[in-house]
Amino acid sequence: MNAILQIAWREYRQYVFSRGFLLFLILFPVGFVVGAVAFSWAERQLPTRHFAVFDETGLYAEAIDREIDILAARRSLSAWDTYLELAAKKDALDAAVEEDAIPEPFAPGPVTTERATAFVDAGGAQAAIAAVRPYLRDGAPAFMETSRGIVRVDLPASAASADSLEAAADALRPFLNGERPVIGPEGAPVDLFAAVLIPAGFTADGGDDAPEAQYWSRNLTDNDLRGAIARALDRALSREKLETLGVDADVLDDLLDTDAPIADFRPDRDEEEAELGVRDRVETIIPGVLTYMLVFIIMGVGNLLLTNTIEERSNKIVEILLSSVTANQLMMGKLIGIGAVGLTMPTIFVLVGGLLTFVAPGANELVGGIGSILFSTPLFAIYLFYFFCAYFIFAMIFLAIGAVSNSLQDAQSYMGPVTLSLFAPLPLVLVMYQNPNGVIATILTWIPIYTPYAVLLRVASDPPLWEILGATAFMLLFAYVLARLMGRVFRRAILSSGPVKLSEAFKLLVSRED
Amino acid sequence: MSQPVLSLSHVVKRFGRLAAVDDVSFDVQPGEIFGFLGPNGAGKTTTLRIALDIVAPTSGMVRILGARSAIPVRARIGYLPEERGLYRKMKAAETIAYFARLRGVPGREAKKRALALLEEFGLGKFARVKNEALSKGMAQKVQLLATIAHDPELLILDEPFSGLDPINPRSLEDLLLRLKAEGRTIIFSTHVMEHAERVCDRFMIMAGGQARFIGDLDAARAAMPPRVLLRTAAAPDDIARLPGVVSVEPRGDKVGETGEREYIASLEPGFDPQAVLAAALAAGLTLTKFEQGGASLHDIFVAIAGDAATPDASIDQRSRAA
């Protein structure tokens, strides 16, 4: 046992105390933070898109302005809700909301057009900050207003005086191509991002022959503006139609701003616990995350096992090792050591996550939720059990491949099918996730190399117990037989001097031990 | 006589139809240096692996340090394989300590011994240097120190002299003699006879998987026909016609200005070399040199194993099958 632990400890140290691993541990959270900061920075740095409208009808510019205002208000409200989530003292804020101490649009809630408009009408972010200031955490960062994003500018004089759509388009070309700037709302020159040209006769009653509105822009990927204009024109045309039908057009705004509230319930719970909350959503996501993590950890540590066995074999260290320990002890030591490497990373992330609950504002609820799901339910124990099973099955295969290969190049021919079979179920994860007790999930549960993934994905969906127990027993039997066979290949191939051909490896697999 | 440290009895190892080791039996006594001699592919490495229970024999019996298998007594054995390497990223002292720990030395003691050995062998300042940064000679020393750091009673060294730079073989010979003086038993294989001749108490010559000779140098010489060295301008046929001469071989290619050349004449067992000298003079041969002497280990080796030497290619075949 001591020799196995010695080998395991050496393997573990070799990787975990290597510069590469430590660098990864530092870089991963740093990369995470940098990514998050970069994302939010990029969000705020989105350039303001300036556009102009040439409207021969003179009817639609106002509708477009209104839609753009709504878009900006919704964006601002969404940023405000996120800010409250992170910066406010939850209990104090909830109490204040309860007592109506905070104007309604400033309190957290669903992002609807009605609330967004009310938010702007009530004074926007500045007024909102003033209203919630007593309920913010100490040292909470200041709210950073989102940029408006889309701004309408006046047409350049040459286009404004155009007498046709074609002439307006021609006049706008140099501005749209960046050759000339237009004058922005604050009097400074700005680039013209797009132009909307609305022809005379653009109407709801035009039928199929009605002229089309034109959207001119060199940027075909940023569709926010195009979408807003399409919605604005849709709404304007709808209003026109309603008016022709004799219905008050403002009814349309009321109709479109209606957001039906829906709450989710589970029928298998008592009435007071039946409504789904954040915890339930996290609970359904965690198995999927764990499954993906499992696949990537196994691939990562499997590669470590492979390269490390190849190194010992090609460097001829293995014979010295085998004069000190048996081949089985060597195998076990490697399995334990590298398996521990595989568990180190998630363990560190869990610890860092736990630490974050004390230092990161607003992370308490989510991280606490994840923590309680992992540790107050059998999920974590189940995950560990199936992690070890999946790891053991694939690790034995990697070890045997390492034992028959003198270089990574030699190993490639064996690795192809193994990698393929390891990743094969990934495309089906979504299917299993959506239908955890369906046919595909059941089939994968009974294929021993996929049993761990399938069970992890299904465990939160109350699969039939007999099926899980049966498939697990079958998987354990498979793992035992595989360990015998792969162990045989390892023991018999590890000392050979050259790479072992496929046919020879097969012989080692099936022939009797010496 | 005390109990042998290692005893192989009728050991056979087959890889398919090939008998890599064919009915080999021998004993190694405590405190002796026992040489395994043989051409490449003779079965030396396989025999050593069988002794260490790294490879199981097809049939036959092994007793090592009183046990039926090396596994329970591994901590008392030091093994240096022919093909040997080191973990590239490990430091020299760490490597030696690691292998000592694997063989049962407690962690702290293993570290202490590793540092002391490195110091003793002039590598003290390289203790914390990674193996990949060591010169080949230094790496070889580290390998050897890793073999002896756990203070083994029995050392099994497979071709320890192969790949050494020109200065190291003599120091390795000295080390082997020192280890023997400390009471350890040493078995080593080689195909370079000079080393064996200088340090072995007894040796076994293997060829084609079989043990062709087991004994000491005197016994080997006694088993060889007597030989004489002659320098003469006479034709080899004239020497071959002398009574008692079995064969004549020129020694070296050099022919002097007078046309003289040196020849080794092998005689019939028990034949008196003086009678050859008398017969040569009587036959009118002019000799400028005449010496009688025993065979060198190299001659003995060639005489015993020479015809069975196998091409190098077969080694690969066998080790692959292993």
How confident is the model at residue A184, as a pLDDT? 85
User: Considering only alpha carbons, which residue of chain A is nearest residue B100?
Assistant: A324
In terms of phi and psi (left: phi > 0; alpha: psi -120 to 50; beta: otherwise), the region of B46 is: alpha
Residue of B13, B99, B102, B103 to mutate, interface with A, max A Cβ within 10 Å = B102
Query: What residues of chain B lie within 8 A of the CB of A2, using their CB?
Result: 104
Which amino acid, one-letter code, is at A284?
A: T
The segment with the largest mean pLDDT, out of A250-264, B78-92, B145-159, is B145-159
* CA distances from residue A447 to A421, A423, A443, A475, A478 in whole angstroms, order as listed: 11, 14, 7, 8, 10
* Selected residues 299-328 of chain A with any CB under 8 Å from a CB in chain B: 311, 314-317, 319-326
Res A284 pLDDT > 80: no
The A residues from 457 to 496 touching B (CB cutoff 8 Å) are 495-496
Least confidently predicted of A198-207, B21-30, B150-159: A198-207
Higher-pLDDT residue of B308 and A68 is: A68
* Contact residues, chain A, for B89 at CB < 8 Å: 14, 18
In whole angstroms, give the CA distance from residue B92 to residue B86: 9
The span from the CA of B67 to the CA of B69, in Å, is 5
CA distance, residue B90 to nearest chain A CA (Å): 8
Determine which of B21, B83, B316 to mutate to test the interface with A (most A C-beta atoms within 10 Å).
Answer: B83
Name the residue of chain B whose CA is nearest to A329's CA: B102
How high is the pLDDT of residue A45? 67
The whole-chain average pLDDT of chain A stands at 81
Model pLDDT for residues A292-337, shown as the tens digit of each residue: 888 888 888 888 888 888 888 887 788 888 888 888 889 899 999 9
Chain A residues with beta carbon closer than 8 angstroms to that of B322 = 495-496
Lowest mean pLDDT among A362-371, A391-400, A466-475, B50-59: A362-371
What is the tens place of the pLDDT at every residue in A395-432? Answer: 888 888 888 888 888 888 888 888 888 888 878 888 88
Please answer yes or no on whether B103 and A497 come within 8 Å at the CB atom.
Answer: no
pLDDT confidence of residue B317: 33
Structure tokens at A392: 């053991």
Edge-first strand listing for the sheet containing B18-28: B18-28, B6-15, B59-64
CA distance B46 to B310: 15
Rounded Cα distance between A154 and A190, Å, is 11
**What residues of chain B lie within 8 A of the CB of A320, using their CB?**
79-81, 84, 99, 143, 146-147
* Phi/psi-derived region of residue A140, left when phi > 0, alpha when psi is between -120 and 50, beta in every other case: beta
CB atoms closer than 10 angstroms to residue B253? 6
Summarised one tens digit per residue, pLDDT across range A186-197 is: 888 889 999 999
For residue B208, what are its two tokens? 């084609």
**Pairwise CB contact (< 8 Å): A326 & B71:** yes
Query: Under an 8 A CB cutoff, do A316 and B84 touch?
Result: yes
Asked if B54 and A319 come within 8 Å (Cβ–Cβ), the reply is yes
Cβ contact, residue pair A325, B102, below 8 Å: yes
* Structural tokens at position B46: 């396989």
Q: Which of A75-79, A135-139, B200-204 has the highest mean pLDDT?
A: B200-204
Total residues found in chain B within this entry: 322
Contacts of B143 in chain A (CB under 8 A): 320
B272-321 pLDDT per residue, tens: 888 888 998 898 888 888 887 767 777 777 777 765 443 333 333 333 33
* Per-residue confidence (pLDDT) for residue A277, from 0 to 100: 66
pTM tops 0.80: no
Lowest mean pLDDT among A33-47, A75-89, A381-395: A33-47
Q: Work out the pLDDT band at A19, boundaries 50, 70, 90.
A: confident
Contacts of A254 (CB under 8 A, 6+ apart): none
3-state secondary structure of B279: helix
Q: Measured between CB atoms, does A249 come within 8 Å of chain B? A: no
Across the interface, of A2, A314, A498, the residue whose CB is closest to B320 is A498
pLDDT of residue B230: 87
- Verify whether the Cβ–Cβ distance A321 to B52 is below 8 Å: no
Residue spans of alpha helices (H) in B191-253: 193-199, 217-223, 236-240
- Which residues fall within 8 angstroms of residue B221, CB to CB, at 6 or more apart? B294, B295, B300
Q: Kindly list the residues from chain B whose CB atom is less than 8 angstroms away from the CB atom of residue A7.
A: 102
Asked if A497 reaches chain B (Cβ–Cβ under 8 Å), the answer is yes
DSSP A497: S
pLDDT tier, A475 (very low <50, low <70, confident <90, very high otherwise) = very high
Report yes or no: A498 at the B interface, CB cutoff 8 Å: yes
* Contact call for A315 and B88, based on CB within 8 A: yes
Euclidean distance between the first and the last CA atom of chain A, given in angstroms as a whole number: 25
Measured CA to CA, the distance from residue A421 to residue A411 in angstroms comes to 16
Point out the residue among A14, A495, A498 whose CB comes nearest to the CB of B54: A495
**What number is the average pLDDT over the span B96-115?**
93
pLDDT in tens, A175-184: 999 899 988 8
Look at B103 and A498 and tell me if their CB atoms are within 8 Å. Answer: no
In chain A, count of helices (H) and strands (E)?
A: 21, 6
| Least confident range of A43-47, A114-118, B136-140, B268-272 | A43-47
Residues with Cβ within 8 Å of A106's Cβ and at least 6 positions away in sequence, in order, are A80, A119, A122, A127, A128, A131, A132
Both tokens of B15, joined, read: 């890889």
Residue whose token pair is 């020799």: A3
| ipTM reported for the complex, 2 dp | 0.76
Sign of the CA dihedral A416, A422, A426, A431?
A: positive
User: Cβ–Cβ of B81/A319 closer than 8 Å?
Assistant: yes
Task: Look at the block and give the residue holding tokens 């069975």.
Answer: B308
- Which residues of chain A make contact with B80, given a CB cutoff of 8 A? 320
Digit-coded pLDDT (tens) for A489-500: 887 787 776 667
Q: Order of strands across the sheet with A150-152?
A: A150-152, A49-55, A194-198, A214-217
Contact A14 B85 (CB under 8 A): no
Q: Tens digits of per-residue pLDDT, A101-113?
A: 778 788 877 777 7
